[in-house]
A and B are shown apart, each in its own frame.
Chain A
Amino acid sequence: MLAWVVLTPFLGALLMPLAARLGRLYTAWAAAAVTSLALAALLPLAPAAFGGDTLVQRWPWLSAAGLDLALRLDGLALLFALLILAIGLLVILYARYYLSERDGLGRFYAYLLLFMGAMLGIVLSENLIQLIVFWELTSLASFLLISYWQHRSDARQGARMALTVTGMGGLALLAGVLLLGEIVGSYELTAVLAAGDTIRAHPWYAPMLVLVLLGVFTKSAQFPFHFWLPHAMAAPTPVSAYLHSATMVKAGVFLLARLFPALSGTELWSTLVGGVGLATLLVGATIALFQHDLKGLLAYSTVSHLGLIAALFGIGTPLAAVAGVFHIINHATFKAGLFMAAGIIDHECGTRDMRRINGLWRYMPYTATLAMVAAAAMAGVPLFNGFLSKEMFFAEAVSLATQMRFGWLLPLVVTVAGVFAVAYSVRFIHDVFFNGDPVDLPRTPHEPPRWMKLPVEVLVVLCLLVGIFPATTVQPVLEMAAAAVLQGPPPQFDLALWHGVSPALLMSVAALVGGLMVYAGRRPLYGLAERLGGRWSARQVYDTLVGALFGAAAALTHTIDRSSLQRMLAILFASALALGAAGVLGTPTALDGGRPQLPTDGVSLTAAAGLVAATLAAVWLHRERLTALIVTGAVGLIVSLIFVKFSAPDLALTQLAVEVVTAVLMLLALYFLPQRSPAESTRARRLRDAGLALAAGGGVAWLAYAVLTRPYTTIAGYYLDKSLPEGGGRNVVNVILVDFRGFDTLGEITVLAIAALGIYAMLERLTLAGPQRDMDGRPWNWDLHPVIMASLTRLLLPLALLTSVFIFLRGHNLPGGGFIAGLITAVALIMQYLANGAAWTQERLPPNFHPVIGWGLAIALATGLAAWAFGRPFLTSAFGHLHLPAVGEIELASAMAFDLGVYLVVVGVTLLILVHLGLMHGASHRGEVR
């Protein structure tokens, strides 16, 4: 059931492009319906989580490696899931009106649902590795959303930056979580949360914490990684509203809350999380005031509020954690509302520059009222929700002030940040809605459509309800989530508007008054900011780093790749040699491993001498191409003799058949190519290559000898024992191919089929001019089909086909099988082409061989799938599960069907390649003959 909550948005994302064909309204409805479905799947589970139960659902996958699909629903997860889905629903409604006719709604909603699903995956994950997968998915989905307006360079740039920063953080987080899993011995959250003391006492605690926090800080836009968030506002405003309130940046603080019991409670945690949080709080609040862009102000305000939340978790007391969760809720509501209001203003005015948007009160009083409520919540004004959590924050800061050395700084910093928060909130309201008249706006603003305002209204009402009646509205939710965060009973806390005159209240008042004063004196401050702005920023550091990285990559590529294959190959071989040598010289060992060796006999010596001579001849004569090709064929024949000698009849047969086919193919190709290579390598180049070749050959020989003389253990015993009783065949090599490792073979014949199709595609529309004369200037003999050869091959055909059937049938028990039989059939048919000509043969054979390959693959696949019908894993041979008396026959049928697929693919591929090249021959000299 829980899985449907996560799966529904992903499935819905796939449907969106289809829904988009029905029209814009239906697309929006479909997206809303998908979200509602996910919500409907979640709600029946909510009461249990509300009651304090933790629901864990698990689907085992690679349990030995700690990799299971596992979902978890507890108070914290429920709170986040509700936020994600509810705000998602409002964003979907809002986006319907925000996006213009030109923007594809289908694509937008598909990305948005993808994002929603990924975010739900994060908050509902029980397995930490799985959580990281969803974590990275949110980075990817946000990349797509931020770059939604792909034609705008700022959108592309912002998306790239967000992906780079959060992606790097994700990698750090992965490393941290792997360490964490090693410490705990499990990736399950339940185990991790229960092992807090073990984790904190472990020597890896510090590196692990730093890595995890890098992930959190980048995602949650904490200083100094905050710069990507303001650039992400190039996204459409509904995306910003979602990204800043319930998703993406909240993933970071969610993880802080999630891992709070496991990681918090050390000085390192307080210093890092608290310190970075406070710095972000102050930096974000200060910069926000000086933004002239409406969304820029809100973006930096988000940075600041995220710093506040991080600082609360950094303080580390249970009450601070409660306040952290509380502020997550509050920030989500008012910030989503504010972004939507900003979107309305942008939509109506055609600009977001606050120096031009003034006095909108007259044009849109209703929207203005909504925005004012949300902004008041952001500033922390009493009666609005932001006030309550901010006051809890102030109270925590004060209570800590006496406990630390520089504790007195804490309330001061916090109050200063509060002052700026009030100042930028006031600026948002006063600049936009009052402050004179609009300055040449592109459009005349008026109230937006009815339904565009609805999401803002919902959020604003929530701000007010929570702000005025906290005890009845939010307290139970908060207790539920806090219990899950702390993994224990939540502390006593009392949410009320009036707590009497406390230091926290005085700080609130100071912030309000100070904020108004700062706003009043804003003009000199703007001037100061103008002069200081852009002097040094995290953005510049980022740009420099990225530039340096690209520069280094380009320089490295250029050193290796100078558009010369020979140079690159030489570098490749030299590096392989250097690495191999380094490995060998690092740990010197005896060359001979002491395994008893076989005696050398005269025949073997002769064959080896022949092989060496042929190889040397191929190298020596390589510029005489035909000769080199012939001696290479001789090498191949001797290689197949080596297989015969060392007990590998199957390999010998395969090598022999492949050798024939390869020779025909190369001869056909050589016909079109120059018959000689020019002598163009310098002597130095030849010496260098010879040196490389000798070193490589010596190294490989050395390695081969070292391995061959060492004893070893093998898993072969398993295959030899099981081949007959379980695979039903005596030829173990064939049983391995079609049964034990049938899946590998399926992959291999697929690769073969793809290679053939690739070749087919290359040959298409290729025109080759055949030469008139051979390399010595003699004209080619146009007697294409010598009578004796033609007659003989026709006689031989049935015999050859019979042989291949024989080889195929006995393959399971004696050397043979589909690969070899396929090659033999192919050779037999190609002989007909060669001897009788393409026209004669094509009358008697199918014109193209794609269907043969297709059928082969289909049969092999169907054999594998048939096992499913019996409830067995893919490609289980029939022998294993059909307990019939006549097992032999049944088993043979299953494995042989698979081998038949292999056979057809091999025949089809070989003929496809050779026949098409051969036909080109006919085409190239037909005209010259006549």
Chain B
Amino acid sequence: MEALVAMVIGVLTAGGVYLVLRARTFPVVLGLTLLSYAVNLFLFAMGRLVIGAPPVVAETAHAYTDPLPQALVLTAIVIGFGMTAFVIMLALKAYAELGDDHVDGERRP
């Protein structure tokens, strides 16, 4: 299972990096989204993979997974949304002001 999760993180990273390197703003935003999935999963995985042991204190529970990376990632997801929103608005603004959605704000020959 560990290898599978590592592979998933790797694929997300690769896809994110490739899209971030594109020339138009929209794919770059999509790439950032993929990258933030990868980063969140990676951070989350720092607490190792545990099945069926959520960090909710209960008398019947025999074990808990690490709650700390989860708390970290929860805020990261929300902040990630804020960042995505900001970047896409920046892209809109650039497109409206420059009439072009190239990341450098100009058409390249």
Contact = CB atoms under 8 A, between A and B. Distances in A.
A847 interface: no
A751 B82 contact: yes
Contacts of A724: 57
Contacts of B2: 597-598, 705, 708-709
A648 B54 contact: yes
Given A698-B10, A732-B56, A618 B34 contact: yes
Contacts of A597: 1-3
A715 interface: yes
A608 B7 CA distance: 9
Contacts of B57: 720, 723-724, 730-732
B89 A752 contact: no
A564 interface: yes
Nearest to A755: B82
Interface string B21-47: 111111101100110011011101111
B102 to A, nearest CB: 9
A605 B4 contact: yes
Interface of chain A: mostly helix, strand, loop or mixed? helix
Contacts of B40: 639
B85 interface: yes
A559 to B, nearest CB: 17
A490 interface: no
Nearest to B22: A622
B14 A650 contact: no
Interface string B74-91: 110111111111101111
Interface stretch (A184-192, A523-531, A655-663): A655-663
A677 interface: yes
A22 B108 CA distance: 59
Interface string A678-722: 101100000001101110111011101101110010111001100
Given A636-B33, A767-B96, A745 B75 contact: yes
B42 A618 contact: no
B10 A600 contact: no
Interface residues of A, number: 111
B12 A708 contact: no
Given A569-B20, A692-B17, A813-B56, A651 B104 contact: no
Size class of the contact patch on chain B? 35 or more
Nearest to B85: A913
Interface string A613-641: 00110110011010011001001100100
A790 to B, nearest CB: 26
Given A647-B55, A751-B79, A564 B30 contact: no
B51 A647 contact: yes
A468 interface: no
Contact of A768 (B45, B53, B80, B92): B92
Contact of B42 (A608, A704, A751): A704
B4 A600 contact: yes
B49 interface: yes
A915 interface: no
A63 interface: no
Contact of A615 (B4, B12, B85): B12
A723 B81 CA distance: 28
Interface stretch (A31-39, A360-368, A758-766): A758-766
A468 to B, nearest CB: 73
Nearest to A671: B92
A655 B58 contact: no
Given A662-B81, A732-B55, A759 B89 contact: yes
A843 B21 CA distance: 44
B42 A819 contact: no
Contacts of B9: 700-701, 704
A716 B66 CA distance: 6
Given A673-B91, A759-B89, A619 B15 contact: yes
A618 B26 CA distance: 12
Given A566-B103, A662-B33, A669-B89, A700 B19 contact: no
Interface string B58-82: 1000001111101101110111111
A701 B26 CA distance: 26
A658 B57 CA distance: 26
Contacts of B33: 632, 636, 662
B98 interface: no
Contact of A632 (B1, B4, B30, B70): B30
Contacts of B47: 714, 716
Given A632-B30, A731-B55, A700 B10 contact: yes
Given A673-B101, A704-B6, A569 B21 contact: yes
Interface stretch (A271-279, A312-320, A736-744): A736-744
Of residues B2, B20, B64, B103, which shows the largest number of chain A Cβ atoms within 10 Å of its Cβ?
B2
A709 B68 CA distance: 19
Nearest to A916: B89
A564 to B, nearest CB: 6
A564 B25 contact: no
B49 A646 contact: yes
Contacts of B42: 700, 704
Given A619-B19, A680-B108, A733 B64 contact: no
Of residues A669, A698, A756, which shows the largest number of chain B Cβ atoms within 10 Å of its Cβ?
A669
Contact of B24 (A595, A677, A708, A723): A677
Given A618-B30, A814-B56, A658 B8 contact: no
28 contacts: A569-B20, A598-B1, A605-B4, A611-B11, A616-B15, A622-B22, A625-B27, A632-B34, A639-B41, A658-B81, A661-B81, A669-B92, A677-B26, A689-B17, A697-B12, A701-B6, A701-B10, A704-B42, A705-B3, A708-B49, A716-B67, A737-B74, A737-B75, A741-B71, A744-B75, A814-B56, A823-B78, A913-B85
Given A608-B7, A716-B67, 11 more contacts: A566-B22, A618-B19, A643-B44, A693-B17, A693-B18, A696-B14, A712-B48, A716-B66, A733-B70, A752-B79, A913-B89
Interface of B: 1-27, 29-30, 33-34, 37-38, 40-42, 44-58, 64-68, 70-71, 73-75, 77-86, 88-93, 95-96, 101, 103-104, 108
Give the top 8 A-B pairs by smallest Cβ distance, nearest first: A701-B10, A697-B14, A705-B6, A693-B18, A598-B1, A732-B67, A755-B82, A736-B71
